[in-house]
Amino acid sequence: MVRSATGELARLNATGVLEAADVHVATRVSELVGETDDLVQVTLALVVRAAREGSTSLDPEHARELLAEAAEESSTPVEGAATDDPVGDTSTEQSGAVGDTSAQQPDAVELPPTPEWLDRVRGSALAEAGVLLVQHDLVYLDRYHREEVQVAEDLRRRATTEAPPVDEPVLEAGLERVFPGDGWGEQRAAVRSAAGRLTTVLAGGPGTGKTSTVAGLLALLLEQAESRGRRPRIALAAPTGKAAARLRESVLGSLGHMPELDRQRLGTDIEAVTVHRLLGWRPDSGNRFKRDRGNPLPHDIVVVDEASMLSLTLTARLLEALRPTARLLLVGDPDQLASVEAGAVLADLVAGYGEDGPVARLQTSHRFGQEIGALAEAVRVGDADRVLELLAAARPGGPVEHVVVHEVLEADEALRPRLLGHAERLRDLALAGEHTAALRELGEHRLLCAHRDGPWGVAPWNDRVERWLAEASEHPGRQVVGRPLLVTTNDRGLGLYNGDTGVLALRADHRVVGVFGEPGAPIVHAASTLGDVDTAHALTIHKSQGSQARSVTVLLPDPDSRLLTRELLYTAITRAQESVTLVGSVEAVRAAVTRRTQRATGLRHRV
């Protein structure tokens, strides 16, 4: 709470719509530029809030809905609410919407109709000073506007620059060799399209063969370059360290399908790094890099995997760091959760370009069975009735299951056998020092939550499983060995990345070690050397992005949770390889499928 805040900023702070940071920025910047219009100050605070939630701009219509919702929530009297109010006026009647000009709200800002609202922002001191900008009926902070325009312009320039020539007969022969037969038609089409362009967006759900396509494309581009006598320089990158490490492994894995000659072309000394590392950190700046237009990357081909996690800012920096004739391949699933920071670049590019242009889509999943595929697809397209129909038809123990519960206690009872069974098997293998088998067991099951805290969150479910383990054990007290771990910072020295999972286990000398990585090649470190790790009997869906488990159990929070969105549910379901269980009410499922992540971004209209 900002004690010094007054007027509408204070009111929205009190209702929880604005956080202290939003209010501070709006107040301070308004003071600096002499902005006195309450409505414009509130608009700035809402734009800052929108950016915090992932939008590159403020959609006035979204803002109106948000304020109306907040007003509705705060119209229920809460004991002691008035004591939280910095200006002492949060009575039930007075905490209404900004637009409510009833007698009880003497100092409420009147929200005018949108065209008038936008005109007031356009004519404001904040706009004059270049802080706020209105375009396409969205209100932007100058920085995000500049970045969106730059990304669109760079992409346009690249689209009109000719790609290196392709020897068609050699390409066609290569495609038949690398992707033979009917089953690989989608991959052939994607590579054909990508070979002729400088920029390609390779979009596809889990297991649709994106990595196989990348490996095939690289091998064939290397073959094309042979006649020119210069081997192109290739960079493989991903937004997170974990995704980068996984990209390297999966590209190498995909080589297994290829003829020997193509495997040799690609070689095994491939390195994948984070996009930040590729661009080169600069000690003096958080969002500027060593590589930029004046000092571009030396690479001829840049591949970015898990591109759904690319923020607008990082995309802008990446595009300006590419040589004008370098190829760029953005690979990812546009239906998954977007970046933590502002922007929804991949989804915007796919929506903005539509069926034309640089988007190559892979549709067929080769990873999971029909049932999970059908469920994921129904969620993806937002067909709640179909989702509920598929769930109603599902059999217990089948690939898709719905455990209908309304209360946490019911979930507790329903899930105890499966969660405790998994935790006990993991503990027994960890105690026996069976590192490979323990990692395999870790990949058998994953419990996913939308929230960190609250009754359906990671924290209480971690506690619950630990308590069950203690109760079921001959040794009282919490047990360390067998505890699943989530790495929460990158540590290149240890080869561990934010989002990696592992388990505490015994070593032959009875010391406790952390075991991470793939079952076939465990990475083992003394427990005392581990940096930041959390207990991971349960994980948030956000943290689970980019990983899979054989079976996945998803806890759905109450239907009114704002986190419960279509993208979140789709991401959760597609973590499952063989079976997925949704735990929650029918209303929660419907709410999840129906609610979209509302990110106001303008990139899709610009490309």
Ligand X SMILES: Nc1ncnc2c1ncn2[C@@H]1O[C@H](COP(=O)(O)OP(=O)(O)OP(=O)(O)O)[C@@H](O)[C@H]1O
Instruction: Tell the smallest beta-carbon distance from residue 206 to ligand X (Å).
Output: 4
Query: Rounded to an integer, what distance in angstroms lies between the CA atom of residue 378 and that of residue 535?
Result: 33
Instruction: Tell the smallest beta-carbon distance from residue 356 to ligand X (Å).
Output: 23
Residue 529, number of CB atoms within 10 A of its CB: 11
Strand partners, 205: none
Contact with ligand X (CB under 6 A): which of 54, 60, 174, 209?
A: 209
Distances (CA, A) of 87 to 2, 7, 91, 98: 10, 8, 11, 16
Check binding of 336 to ligand X (CB under 6 A): no
Closest CA to 580 of 535, 543, 542, 541: 541
Contact with ligand X (CB under 6 A): which of 54, 60, 206, 482?
A: 206
Contact with ligand X (CB under 6 A): which of 366, 467, 511, 562?
A: 366
Contact 363, 333 (CB under 8 A): no
Check binding of 15 to ligand X (CB under 6 A): no
206 annotated as belonging to a binding site for a ligand: yes
Task: Report CA dihedral (13, 148, 345, 70) to the nearest 10 degrees.
Answer: 20
457 annotated as belonging to a binding site for a ligand: no
Strand partners, 292: 295
Contact with ligand X (CB under 6 A): which of 15, 27, 199, 212?
A: 212
Query: Rounded to an integer, what distance in angstroms lies between the CA atom of residue 443 and that of residue 157?
Result: 44
Instruction: Tell the smallest beta-carbon distance from residue 309 to ligand X (Å).
Output: 12
Nearer of residues 185 and 267 to ligand X, judged by Cβ? 185
Nearer of residues 86 and 209 to ligand X, judged by Cβ? 209
210 annotated as belonging to a binding site for a ligand: yes
Query: Rounded to an integer, what distance in angstroms lies between the CA atom of residue 529 and that of residue 314?
Result: 32
The per-residue b/e assignment along 177-210, b for 16 or more CB within 10 angstroms, e otherwise, is bbbeeeebebbbbbbbbbbebbbbbbbbbbbbbb
Instruction: Tell the smallest beta-carbon distance from residue 514 to ligand X (Å).
Output: 25
Check binding of 367 to ligand X (CB under 6 A): yes
Nearer of residues 207 and 373 to ligand X, judged by Cβ? 207
CA atoms within 13 A on the CB side of 120: 19
Nearer of residues 105 and 187 to ligand X, judged by Cβ? 187
Nearer of residues 204 and 514 to ligand X, judged by Cβ? 204
Take residue 430 and report the two structure tokens written for it.
Answer: 């960890």
Nearer of residues 150 and 250 to ligand X, judged by Cβ? 250
Query: Rounded to an integer, what distance in angstroms lies between the CA atom of residue 324 and that of residue 274?
Result: 21
Check binding of 462 to ligand X (CB under 6 A): no
Instruction: Tell the smallest beta-carbon distance from residue 213 to ligand X (Å).
Output: 7
Instruction: Tell the smallest beta-carbon distance from residue 186 to ligand X (Å).
Output: 6
Query: Rounded to an integer, what distance in angstroms lies between the CA atom of residue 401 and that of residue 326?
Result: 47
Nearer of residues 211 and 240 to ligand X, judged by Cβ? 211
CA atoms within 13 A on the CB side of 302: 28
204 annotated as belonging to a binding site for a ligand: yes
Query: Rounded to an integer, what distance in angstroms lies between the CA atom of residue 228 and that of residue 213?
Result: 23
Report the residue number whose CB is nearest to ligand X: 209
Nearer of residues 13 and 208 to ligand X, judged by Cβ? 208
Check binding of 585 to ligand X (CB under 6 A): no
SS3 label, residue 199:
strand
Closest CA to 303 of 387, 370, 216, 377: 216
CA end-to-end span of the chain, whole Å?
40
Stretch that binds ligand X, among 77-85, 152-160, 207-215, 279-287 (CB under 6 A): 207-215
Nearer of residues 246 and 604 to ligand X, judged by Cβ? 246
Query: Rounded to an integer, what distance in angstroms lies between the CA atom of residue 456 and that of residue 450?
Result: 8
Check binding of 254 to ligand X (CB under 6 A): yes
Instruction: Tell the smallest beta-carbon distance from residue 316 to ligand X (Å).
Output: 25
- Span 374-403, contacts to ligand X by CB under 6 A: none
Give the distance from CA 418 to its chain's centroid.
28
How many chain residues bind ligand X (CB under 6 A)? 16
Burial class (CB in 10 A: 0-12, 13-18, 19+), 125: middle
Nearer of residues 60 and 205 to ligand X, judged by Cβ? 205
Instruction: Tell the smallest beta-carbon distance from residue 469 to ligand X (Å).
Output: 31
Nearer of residues 183 and 298 to ligand X, judged by Cβ? 183
Closest CA to 10 of 64, 85, 110, 77: 85
Task: Say which amino acid occupies 560.
Answer: D
Check binding of 204 to ligand X (CB under 6 A): yes
Stretch that binds ligand X, among 65-73, 202-210, 217-225, 489-497 (CB under 6 A): 202-210
Instruction: Tell the smallest beta-carbon distance from residue 175 to ligand X (Å).
Output: 12
Instruction: Tell the smallest beta-carbon distance from residue 352 to ligand X (Å).
Output: 22
Stretch that binds ligand X, among 145-153, 200-208, 319-327, 376-384 (CB under 6 A): 200-208
Nearer of residues 48 and 541 to ligand X, judged by Cβ? 541
Show the DSSP H helices in 88-141 as ranges. 114-122, 125-128
- The radius of gyration computed from the CA coordinates of the chain, to the nearest angstrom, equals 26
290 annotated as belonging to a binding site for a ligand: no
Q: Phi, psi at residue 454, to the nearest 5°? A: 85, 170
Instruction: Tell the smallest beta-carbon distance from residue 246 to ligand X (Å).
Output: 8
Instruction: Tell the smallest beta-carbon distance from residue 180 to ligand X (Å).
Output: 10
Contact with ligand X (CB under 6 A): which of 211, 501, 540, 565?
A: 211
Take residue 86 and report the two structure tokens written for it.
Answer: 């910095």
DSSP character string of 338-393: --SSS--HHHHHHHHHTTSTTEEEE---SSS-HHHHHHHHHHHTT-HHHHHHHHHH
369 annotated as belonging to a binding site for a ligand: no
Instruction: Tell the smallest beta-carbon distance from residue 516 to ligand X (Å).
Output: 19
- Span 139-198, contacts to ligand X by CB under 6 A: 183-184, 187
Contact 307, 334 (CB under 8 A): no
Contact with ligand X (CB under 6 A): which of 86, 174, 207, 352?
A: 207
Contact with ligand X (CB under 6 A): which of 101, 135, 193, 250?
A: 250
Residue numbers belonging to the annotated binding site: 204-211
Residue numbers belonging to the annotated binding site for ATP: 204-211
Contact residues for ligand X (CB under 6 A)?
Answer: 183-184, 187, 204, 206-212, 250, 254, 257, 366-367
